[in-house]
């Protein structure tokens, strides 16, 4: 994680299986760019997010969680 950012957050998202976590991660990782690093650990996605302000952090979190939620519903076939 880059240390010169003013705000940082580590997020752990748990999934029912490692396969689900991997599929969701592959679905959203292209949008991560330079402000978010993510990886799969077992049945979890670990996301490390950095921003220059709290407002920017909240926007990034909202975007990441929204995309992850859609991907999870598709992977698990929930509506």
Alpha carbon of 50 to those of 14, 30, 39, 41, 76: distances in Å? 21, 17, 15, 20, 29
> Residue 48: enclosing H or E segment and its boundaries?
strand 44-51
Task: Reply yes or no on domain 7-76 having CATH 3.30.310.50.
Answer: yes
Q: What is the pLDDT of residues 24-33, one digit of tens each?
A: 999 988 766 6
The pLDDT of residue 77 = 80
Share the mean pLDDT of the chain. Answer: 88
Q: What is the pLDDT of residues 32-56, one digit of tens each?
A: 667 789 999 999 999 999 999 999 9
Rounded Cα gap, residues 14 and 12, in angstroms:
6
The pLDDT of residue 2 = 44
The whole model's pTM is what?
0.83
């Amino acid at each position: 994680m880059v240390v010169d950012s003013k705000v940082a957050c580590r997020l752990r998202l748990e999934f029912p299986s490692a396969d689900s976590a991997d599929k969701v991660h592959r679905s959203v990782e292209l949008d991560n760019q330079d402000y978010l690093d993510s990886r799969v650990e077992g049945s979890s996605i670990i996301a490390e997010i950095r921003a220059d302000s709290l407002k920017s952090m909240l926007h990034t979190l909202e975007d990441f969680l929204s995309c992850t939620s859609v991907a999870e519903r598709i992977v698990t076939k929930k509506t």
